[in-house]
């Protein structure tokens, strides 16, 4: 059987003027039965549309902070580095895939970016802008394949059906997060402090996103493997 071709959003090193990739994104897709390909950062719209039409799914990876201008806000001092080139390219890919109902999986920034493009907003910096109870450490130190906090899986959601658990231990490395969830997204998991940790779009074949990092612990955490497999199955 033909393996699905998955377009992976590149990581952008602005200082080195280069594109790169964490092996876990590729390996997680490959081990789940897909063929990962890193997408180029800059292409004319016509060429990008032609290229995207050849893929069976897209993975929206982690990376820089999302430009607050995309959700009609001013960048505050606590906002980190942004990549306008990546934002433009990723928005174009998302719009094309959403229009054609091509499966997409978002990881970390991927959840935040999906949320913004669909009408939601973000906390630009959790430590200074959000005071949840209890205090949850969302930005871990290495090694990144260990559990640092738990999330509550919403009963009846696709993620609950897939994992068949009500609570899940996750890794975590982010300082931005969903503030207002987009109208067309439904939450699938929350951190104990109330932050949205996973969401999906009900009227699309497969449009899921998680705030944690399955690409960093899928070799040791079976639930991360299941997420990759579910994505590839829909592709």
What token pair was written down for 199?
């969401």
109: left (phi over 0), alpha (psi -120 to 50) or beta: alpha
Query: What CA–CA distance (Å, rounded) separates 167 from 154?
Result: 9
152 carries an active-site annotation: no
Q: Spot the catalytic one: 174, 213, 230, 234.
A: 213
SS3 92: helix
Cβ count within 10 A of residue 80: 12
Report CA torsion sign: 78, 80, 83, 86.
Answer: negative
Examine the residue annotation and report whether 72 is marked as an active-site residue of this protein. Answer: no
| Element counts in the chain: helices (H) and strands (E) | 8, 13
Containing 125, the helix (H) or strand (E) segment is: none
What one-character DSSP code corresponds to residue 106?
E
Distance of CA 114 to the CA centre of its chain: 8
Does residue 108 carry a catalytic annotation? yes
User: What residues are annotated to the active site?
Assistant: 108, 213, 215
């Amino acid at each position: 059987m033909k393996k699905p071709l998955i377009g992976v959003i590149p990581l952008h090193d602005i200082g080195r003027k280069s594109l790169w990739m964490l092996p876990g994104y590729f390996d997680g897709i490959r081990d789940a039965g897909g063929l990962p390909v890193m997408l180029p950062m800059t292409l004319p719209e016509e060429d990008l549309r032609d290229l995207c039409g050849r893929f069976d799914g897209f993975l929206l990876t982690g990376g820089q902070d999302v430009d607050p201008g995309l959700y009609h806000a001013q960048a505050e001092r606590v906002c980190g580095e942004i990549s306008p080139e990546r934002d433009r390219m990723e928005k174009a890919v998302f719009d094309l895939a959403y229009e054609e109902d091509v499966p997409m999986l978002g990881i970390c920034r991927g959840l935040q970016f999906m949320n913004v493009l669909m009408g939601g907003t973000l906390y630009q910096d959790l430590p200074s802008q959000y005071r949840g109870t209890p205090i949850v450490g969302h930005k871990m130190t290495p090694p990144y394949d260990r559990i640092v906090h738990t999330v509550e899986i919403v009963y009846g959601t696709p993620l609950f059906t897939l994992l068949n658990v009500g609570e899940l231990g996750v890794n975590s490395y982010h300082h931005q997060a969903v503030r207002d969830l987009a109208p067309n997204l439904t939450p699938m998991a929350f951190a104990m402090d109330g932050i949205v940790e996973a969401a999906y779009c009900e009227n699309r074949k497969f449009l899921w996103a998680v705030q944690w990092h399955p690409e960093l612990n899928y070799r040791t955490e079976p639930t991360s493997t299941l997420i990759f497999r579910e994505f590839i199955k829909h592709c």
